[in-house]
Amino acid sequence: MSRIASTFARLRAERRLGLIAYLTVGYPRLDSTPSLVEAATRAGADAIELGIPFSDPLADGRTIQAASQAALKSGVTVARALESAMAARSKTDVPLLFMTYLNPILAFGLDRFCRAAAEAGIDGLIVPDLPAAESDDLRRAADAWELDLVFFVAPTSSNAGIAAACRAATGFIYCIAVTGVTGARAKLDSGVLPLIATVRQQTSLPVVVGFGISRPEHLQTLEGHADGVIVASALLDAIAQAPDDPVGEVGRFLTALRRKPAQ
C-alpha cells in the first residue's frame, strides 16, 4: 500500500478529516522548505504538497504566484526542488506530493522526472494543466515509478469531465472548493458539497478539497463529507507575515486551523 493510501486508510479508521499543507519549494528562502515541512508535520499535517515554482502558474492566485516568483528569483529549479524534497523526506514520514505544471516536467523529461521524484521520496504528482484525457504518457511514467497521479474536478466540471478524472486518478481526487484561481476565501462555493457527492458516485478514491481553505469553519463544513483538505494560500500568507519566524508561524497557523470554531 502506498503512503497516500495508507494515510487515508488511517484517517478513515480514525474518522478524521486529513489536513494537507501546501508549501512553495524555496519560499521564503532557498533552504527553508525542509524545516517548514518538519514544522507542518509536527503541527498535525497529514501530508505535504510541495509546489515547484513556475513562471506561468495559470491555476494559482496572487499569493502562490508571488511565492513562486520569489522562489524563482532565489534560483529554484526542478533539480533544486528535487534536492529539497529529498531533504524534506529525511524529516518526515508523511506523504509528499509535487504540484507542478506540465512544461517543467516535459523540459526535465517525463521518465527522468518521475524517476527522480520517486528517488527523492515523492509519493504523488498534481499537475493542474494536464487534462485526464491527455495524461497517458505521464500516467505510464508515474506508474513505472509507483507515483500517484491526482486530477482536479470543480463545481463547473461536466459529468463527463468528472468521470474522466475519476478514471484516470490514483491517490485521491482533488475537488476545487471555489470557482477561480487559488486564494484564501471567506466562504466556500455552495457547489462543493454536491460536487463531493457526485464524485463519490464515480470513485472509491479519497476526496480532498482545496482552493480557498483558510478557516476552521471550512474544515467543520467539510467534516463528514470530504476525506481531507488542502490549505495553501492562507498558509503562505501567514508565512509572509512572519519573516523572522516562518517555521514557528507554520506551526501556529496549522494548530489554529485545526481548532473547532466557537459555537
Contacts of 108 (CB under 8 A, 6+ apart): 78, 79, 116
Grid cell in block for residue 207: 476526496
- Catalytic residue, candidates 38, 46, 49, 123: 49
| Nearest by Cα to 196 from 49, 17, 59, 6 | 17
Please indicate whether residue 49 is annotated as part of the active site. Answer: yes
- Catalytic residue, candidates 14, 31, 38, 60: 60
DSSP strand pairing (148-153 vs 228-231): unpaired
Length of the chain: 263
CA angle, 197 as apex, 133 and 171 as ends, to 5°?
Answer: 50
Contacts of 4 (CB under 8 A, 6+ apart): 47, 95, 97, 123, 124, 148, 171, 172
Please list the active-site residues: 49, 60
